[in-house]
Every structure is written in C-alpha cells, then in structure tokens.
Amino acid sequence: MPPARYSIGAAMAPDELETWLEKDVGDGLPVVPPTRERVARMLVAGAPSPETLIGEMPPNYGRLTVEKVAINAVMAGCRPEYLPVVLAAAAAACDPAFNLHGVATSTHFSAPIIVLHGPVRARLGINCSFGFFGPGYRANATIGRALRLLMINVGGARPGLLSMSTFGHPGRYTYCIGEHEEASPWPPYHASRGLPAGSSAVTLFAGEAPHGISDHASRTALALAGSLGWSMAGLWNSKHFPLYSPTLLVVGPEHARTFADDGWSRDDLARHLHATIRVPYRTLLPDAAHGEGTNLRFARTPPAPDALISKFPSPEEIHVLVAGGTAGRFSMAIPGWLGSKNGSRPVTRLVELG
C-alpha cells in the first residue's frame, strides 16, 4: 500500500503551505497557493477565455480548461508569461497520439518530457545549455512541474492509485528542457516535424530518465555514430531488438560538431544507427545465462538464425536534437514508452504567444 501522504505534527499550527499540502493537490513539494488574484494575473497571459476547453486529460479524462491550466501553473510557481507554453504542452498531452492514458497508468517508468523550440526559449529564459536536465532555472522547473500537477489534479494520475509505475523517475517532478539551436549544426527539430523553423513550439515525448553516453575519443562521424549506437544497444534490455519504443537522442554540441564536420545530417545519423546497430537473431534468444529475449521469437515466422536484427524499429523512431553545454563530449539517450499503434508518439505543437 502507498504510505500516508501528508501529516501535520500535533504541536505544529498549520500554515497556508501546510494547508495546501493537506488538500492532496500536489506532488509532495509545497505549492504556491492559487489565490484568485494569482490566477487572475496568470490568465492575463493566456489568449483564450478561462472556460475554453483544451481537452480531456487521461487517465480520468477530467475536463481541462484554460482556467484549470492557470490554477496549476500558479501552484507550480510559473510566471504568467509561461502560460502559453503550459497550454501547448497540456494540449499535446491530451492528443490521442501521445496516449497519456497508457503513459500515466503503465508499470513502466516514463514521464512526459517537454522540449521547447524557437524564440520562446530566450523569451522565457529556458535553459538549453549547461546542466539543462538539472536545477537552477525557474522556467524549466515550473513549466515541467505544471504539466505534472495537471496530470495529478485533472487527470487523476496519483502514484499507487491510477499511476502504477513500479519505480517512476525524478522527471516525474519536472521534465522540461530547451533545444540548443544556437549550438546545433542542423535545422531545429520542430522544422523536421513540419513547422516553420522560426516558430515557437513544444514537443512532448514520453521518456525514461536520460541515459548518459560518454565518448571523448571519436573524431569521425562514423566512429562516433558507432559509439553512440552500441551504447544504446542495451536500452530496455540488451536482447530487446528491436526496441519497443521510439528513442530521443540528445546529442551534445561537441558531438554534433563531429557529425557536421563530416557532412552528416540528423537524418544521416538516424539512418546509420538503424542500418548498423544490428545483431544476429540467434544471439537474441533467451538462454540459461540471459533469460530475456526478443519478442520476435513469438512471430508466426521467426527470422532466420543469422538474420541481422536492428536495435531500432526504423530511422523514423530515432528522434535527434542538440542540447547541452558546449564543453564535454557527451550525449544522452532517452528511450520512450512503447511504440506501434498502441504506444506513445511524440507530439509537436506551436506555442501561441501573445
């Protein structure tokens, strides 16, 4: 059973923060009390009226209005100018393609990661560089937290009740980063999704915690691609070929320069990883020393023993963007939550700035 959620010591007089913790409307951390005045200030930044319906938020399919987004943004500590981003992220979470119901209720440990693109990053002070997965930047911390509070308070995704993740991960407090477009040799990621390169956008990806990859030696695109790809061969499980999910590959700026110096594009990298990170089918079968195995063994016609099986289902399932500090030859891989028609697809939406 889940532990008791909150309690106030008998000798402690409850204050405003403790009262809101007792209401069980948070993530375990103190929230900013959503007074009428604070919510009204937050709504100034949102173009739609407070009653506008954004969608129905799984898993309980609560009615998600602009006002409810504003209330939870206040509780998370957002500034009013952050509201358009929170609205776009919340709308993306309600998109059936994202499958928030599955993401929120699964025993898996994924969480929606918000990636910001375009001019909105500088406008709001989003960290795209050194330590961007960590603390220190209000916009990253509170925008990501606002979406989580909406999932809890509107969607009903409370741990141990409807949210049944065996472990979860720290990104379930807040998971929001920016693409480091200024340090990238490639067009911004949202341009590859069909949006104008100069527009502001958010991408929502259901991801595990970041898996760090270190390569300080490779100096050619070919060598570096092999290093990154074989480091990702163990995602989900070392015998899960192909992966069950899409993968978000966050390439560090130094690694990105290595690829660009050899003329590789983002698509070149994805195609190369799909084509070369392959092992014979026979090595993916369970044995006495490794009980897990590829799901391909359940196919009506399994592959031939020496058929080469790719780690990645397709190049399109590898989503590549550049972010992080400009010093340090590191990248990060974030496997997603399932794939195919029943899994979660990344969703990219424009941010409507006032």
pLDDT tens figures, 276-331 = 999 999 999 999 999 999 999 999 999 999 999 999 999 999 999 999 999 999 99
Q: Are 195 and 272 in the same domain?
A: no
Measured N-to-C along each axis, helices 83-94 and 138-153 cross at an angle, to the nearest 10 degrees, of 40
The residue ranking higher by pLDDT, 19 or 283, is 283
**pLDDT, position 13:** 52
pLDDT at 6 over 50: no
Q: Are 254 and 281 in the same domain?
A: yes
Largest CA distance in the chain: 70
Q: Give the side-chain half-sphere CA count within 13 A for 324.
A: 21
Residues 276-310 as b or e (16 or more Cβ within 10 Å = b): ebbbebebbbeeeeeeebbebeeeeeebeeeeebb
SS3 sequence, 179-227? CCHHHCCCCCHHHHHCCCCCCCEEEEEEECCCEEEECCCCCCHHHHHHH
Per-chain mean pLDDT for the chain: 94
Determine, yes or no, domain membership for 3: no
Q: Are 187 and 330 in the same domain?
A: no
Res. 1 pLDDT band, cuts 50 70 90: low
- Residue 132: count of CB within 10 angstroms of its CB: 20
pLDDT at 110 over 60: yes
Q: Are 219 and 261 in contact (CB under 8 A)?
A: no
Q: Give the side-chain half-sphere CA count within 13 A for 156.
A: 12
Which helix (H) or strand (E) segment holds residue 120: the answer is helix 120-124
pLDDT tens figures, 180-190 = 999 999 999 99
Distance (Å) of CA 309 to CA 77, 241, 249, 306: 47, 6, 20, 9
pLDDT tens figures, 51-105 = 999 999 999 999 999 999 999 999 999 999 999 999 999 999 999 999 999 999 9
**pLDDT, position 254:** 98
Tokens standing for 246?
Answer: 């899409």
pLDDT at 340 over 80: no
Res. 41 pLDDT band, cuts 50 70 90: very high
Q: Are 187 and 235 in the same domain?
A: no
Tokens standing for 157?
Answer: 């995704």
The average pLDDT across 142-169 equals 96
Distance, CA of 335 to CA of 182 (rounded, Å): 25
Residue 150: what residue type? Answer: L
Q: Are 79 and 171 in the same domain?
A: yes
Q: What is the DSSP string of 297-313?
A: GGSSSPPPTT-EEESSS
Which helix (H) or strand (E) segment holds residue 117: the answer is strand 111-117
Q: Are 215 and 161 in the same domain?
A: no
For 37-41, 128-132, 193-197, 340-344, which range has the lowest pLDDT when averaged over its residues? 340-344
Distance (Å) of CA 239 to CA 30, 64, 121, 215, 236: 42, 40, 39, 23, 8
Q: Are 79 and 222 in the same domain?
A: no
The residue range of the domain holding 72 is: 8-208+344-354
pLDDT at 148 over 50: yes
Number of structural domains found in the chain: 2
pLDDT tens figures, 209-221 = 999 999 999 999 9
Determine, yes or no, domain membership for 1: no
Distance, CA of 282 to CA of 273 (rounded, Å): 21
Determine, yes or no, domain membership for 183: yes
By residue count, the chain amounts to 354
